[in-house]
Structure 1
């Protein structure tokens, strides 16, 4: 299948770029239309601290039954119009695909049971853990790690999963060092040259599995790249302007899934999904304030501006005063979605006001929030699509991110301290000095990446 090439944005008018509505909604078999006008909650959950072995699998399954039953019951009690349950497999569940498939089938069966008995519409997104890391990794696109991931996808699709997703790690070994040393050149190399190449190979396979099994290839996320930077910036370990730029650059990488045929919704922990939606019109899932159960961030409200599904972040099955944590988190998501849906039903003006309040409440206080403003996203996206090629587009993304941050500071729309301003100037200059040719850039970077084994990416 020929890859899609996006040369213009899906949205021209900022008025149309809003939560709950996508140009190309994803229609599920049960009638849910993601991006079709209704905001749905997407609940992401995981196990309490425990070992996952053959002997503990009965306890694992018991936990997942308890989690999804509590969620379905609360969905019924709150009159939720529909929801998505995401299963992010833990590493042992991907190394042993039959375990991941058993977990998936457990969740799917209960969701379908509640739909049949109570009319509660639910969908299941399966996100196999990307295990392609470690010393025993043979190659990124063949060997036992690769085969286990594909078997997990195939098995879970057969078990009834509706949506296929992953947090892929191609280039992460290089990007970890890029973050550590605030090396914007290495970040661009990891995300565009390594990451985009990996995305092409991986998402061609995932889309093929989706087509074969009648499921939907949804989307990827640069969580291990941009979210890692965001968390470290929040701890004041690295500059926030660096993290903000990484977020925009990561959109070039995440876009590849859609180019390969993924339909959305883009995965929740990929905040760069706003750029993917702007360019492709596919619906997106995002997380913000509701992700505080797993990590803190400066983008709690602005993340909701153009979401089509509102998610949390992986929350453990532990007891809180209000109930089990996944059920509590689901309730928070459901109420947020109810508010957004009510605003949309009231009028377009009310929905736009809520969108803009979400944006304005965060964007001035942190550059990582500023680059997620719908108007900024649309402006940058319209320039990005004019540039073709992964490396040139990633370089352009970094340049645009820095120039927009500088302009916003100069106009008083963004707060930056002296240290951030110094980093902003230096990083922008570094990007401008990078070579224009991708081959020249790659050749100059390979020897500088100590943790990179080029053979695993077919680079030798």
Structure 2
């Protein structure tokens, strides 16, 4: 009889200093898939892909399957040709593939077939990460723990695990219904409510479900979540000058708290590529992490193209459509780009120069954007230390935000970080708002009930409903 799972509680870091945060090495490597060990000394490419613009219907389904046949065949062939020491494919389901779980599972089977063939014929160590879409945001307010969308999502996890997934992940959206509104208004208390109160509650429930599904399918590991809908939304809005960069940087730091909940509930990594909070997870939980940066420019622009690789164990392109380029189809092209990036990192490790390369990755970005400041190994260690000094997710979120403000302040004071007048003003506003937050999540919920209470379903977060 399997013992009941007891959620973990992190009060210490898995590393002793920032010097132990480096690409290719994690305190707790993960074995998964077909002979692959992640975080044990090498960095591997994680290739992500999607369909070109097309309708997805019963009539076009054979064409959809043909695309994934082509992607699976071409990507593994390119990896074998380049003598890659290992490979991860990430299949991010589109919403219709989650809403009809059998569709997603069929495509998982197609991709795994090509990976098995490459492993058997060429000895390629590889693993398939499958990421269903969090479709629970339907409805106003969205229902997170019940209803048809949750039933479809749960079945998607089950069927994909049975069809060949080696790693299960998700970009969950609990708390986003409040966070989106607060973010657009620059309202820090509302941001903290969504990101630091509601999101951790949803994560704890959701990742207990995902862990249980993995437990029922030997060989399938629970990977990790991503604050893509929170911190990456802020990053992109800041890039479009719709939000201050300092706010995006503080949101990035605070997003680490919800990510940690997945590992408290049994996730073991590798974390998601678009989860730039991954380095803090490596520092606290010791798990291997996937990251994305300059080689993800096919999917989005960012101010963190090099520094993102400083501590990665998987290096990803985020996503690219299966369209024809001059050399070949885009997914196989990005397989080559990623593998050459990984070769450089692995050569640095093999020749004792990993620390020098890590520091160059960091130096090239660190002081050119507030969002890069909070991603350095030193900043990662400082944010992680602040998190483990608290146990309550709300207090952890506040501590992470305050640490980010301190990091930005110090950068300005020593003349390394240059901020415009409006960014300076916003940093002061954020600092003051963090100082004025109430001492408990219960007080924050009560304080913001008139403003945000209508936007979220209390039962979805195990909160008592007001009479």
Same fold? TM cut 0.5: yes
C-alpha displacement of 1:77: 0.8
Match of 1:106 among 104, 110, 118: 110
Alignment TM-score, normalising by the size of structure 2: 0.96
> Offset of 1:136 from its aligned partner?
7.1
Task: Name the structure 1 match of 2:384.
Answer: 381
Contact 1:137 1:145 in 2 (8 A): no
Equivalenced residue count is 458
Counterpart-to-counterpart distance in 1, 2:382 and 2:203: 25
Deviation at residue 456 of structure 1 after TM alignment: 3.8
1:401 to 376, 399, 404: 404
Instruction: Please list the CA deviations of residues 18-70 of structure 1 after superposition, one character each: whole Å capped at 9, or x if unmatched.
Output: 00000000012532110000100000100001111222111111000101111
Q: Are residue 332 (structure 1) and residue 337 (structure 2) matched?
A: yes
Show CA shifts across 1:69-128 (max 9, x none): 110110011000111000000000111000000011110111101111121222100000
Q: What residue in structure 1 maps to residue 56 of structure 2? A: 52
Q: How does 1:183-262 map to 2 (within 5 A)?
A: 183-214=187-218, 215-262=220-267
1:137: how far off?
A: 7.3
Residues of 1 paired with 2:455 and 2:370: CA distance? 30
Correspondence 1:337-348 to 2 at 5 A: 337-347=342-352
1:90 to 74, 87, 94: 94
SS in structure 1 opposite 2:263? helix
Judged with a 3 Å threshold, the aligned counterparts in structure 2 of structure 1 residues 154 and 24 are, in CA distance, closer, same or farther, namely same
> What stretches of structure 1 of length at least 5 have no aligned partner?
none
Partner Cα separation in structure 2 for residue 266 and residue 330 of structure 1? 19
Deviations along 1:398-433, one digit per CA (max 9) or x if unpaired, are 111111110111012212111111100111001100
How far apart are the structure 1 equivalents of 2:456 and 2:164?
A: 37
Question: 1:331 and 1:178 mapped to 2: Cα distance?
Answer: 40
Q: TM-score, normalised by structure 1?
A: 0.98
- What is the DSSP-based 3-state SS (H/G/I as helix, E as strand, rest coil) of the residue aligned with 1:269? coil
Q: CA deviation at 1:133?
A: 1.2
Write the distance in 2 (CA, Å) between the matches of 1:217 and 1:46: 22
Q: Trace 1:29-178 onto structure 2 (pairs within 5 A).
A: 29-135=33-139, 139-178=143-182
Give structure 2 stretches of 5+ with no counterpart.
none
RMSD over aligned CA atoms reads 1.2
Contact persistence 2:169–2:223 (CA under 8 A): yes
Per-residue CA distance 1:383-404 (angstroms, 9 max, x = gap): 2211110111101111111111
